[in-house]
Copies of this chain bind each other. A is one copy, B any other.
Amino acid sequence: MKLRARPIDLEAGGKSIVILHKDDAGFLGLHSLERVKLIHKGQTLTAIIDITEKFTSPGEMVVNYEVTSKLNLNLGDSIEVQHVSNPISVGYVKEKIRGFPLNYYKYKEIVKDVVANNLSDIEMTGFVSALDARGITMEEAYFLSKAMIDTGKILKIKGKIICDKHSIGGIPGDKTSLLVVPIVAAAGLIIPKSSSRAITSPAGTADRMEVLAPVELEINDIVRIVGKAGGCLVWGGALDLAPADDAFIQIEYPLGIDPLLLPSIMSKKKAMGATHVVIDMPTGRGAKIKTIGEAHNLADSFIELGNRLGIKIACGATYGEQPLGYAIGPALEAREALTVLQGKGPEDVRAKVSQIGGILFEMVGKGDRRDVARLLKSGKAEKKMRQIIELQGGNPKVKPSDIVVGDKTHDIKADRNGIILWIKNAEIGSVAKRAGAPKDRAAGVLLYAKTGDRVKKGQKLFTIFASNEAHLSEAIEFAEANVPVIVGSSLEEKMLMDRIPSNAPHRRAFMLDR
Chain A residues within CB distance 8 Å of chain B: 8-11, 19, 26-27, 29, 31-34, 52, 54-55, 62, 65, 88, 90-95, 97-100, 106, 120-123, 125-126, 129-130, 132-134, 199, 250-251, 253-257, 433-434, 436, 439, 506-510
Contact = CB atoms under 8 A, between A and B. Distances in A.
A126 B123 contact: no
Given A8-B10, A506-B95, A123 B255 contact: yes
Contact of A9 (B62, B251, B509): B62
Contact of A8 (B9, B34, B133, B434): B9
Contact of A257 (B10, B31, B91, B97): B97
Contacts of A433: 29
A9 B55 contact: yes
B125 A122 contact: yes
Contacts of A255: 93-94, 97, 122-123, 126
A250 B97 contact: no
A29 B434 contact: yes
B29 A509 contact: no
B120 A122 contact: no
16 contacts: A10-B10, A10-B62, A11-B52, A29-B434, A29-B439, A32-B250, A34-B254, A94-B256, A94-B509, A97-B133, A98-B257, A99-B133, A122-B125, A122-B254, A129-B129, A129-B133
B506 A92 contact: yes
Given A98-B507, A120-B254, 10 more contacts: A10-B19, A31-B253, A31-B254, A32-B254, A92-B506, A94-B507, A97-B256, A121-B121, A122-B251, A125-B129
A271 to B, nearest CB: 25
A10 B106 CA distance: 35
A509 B254 contact: no
Contacts of A506: 88, 91-92, 95, 106
Contact of A507 (B31, B100, B130, B439): B100
A94 B10 CA distance: 29
Which 9 pairs of residues, A with B, have the shortest CB-CB distance? A133-B133, A129-B129, A125-B125, A91-B506, A26-B439, A126-B255, A9-B55, A94-B509, A33-B254
B91 A509 contact: yes
A88 B510 CA distance: 16
A26 B8 CA distance: 25
A121 B129 contact: no
A425 to B, nearest CB: 18
Contacts of A125: 121-122, 125-126, 129
A507 to B, nearest CB: 6
A98 B130 CA distance: 12
Given A121-B121, A254-B122, A255-B126, A11 B55 contact: yes
Contacts of A62: 9-10
Contacts of A55: 9-11, 65
A27 B507 CA distance: 28
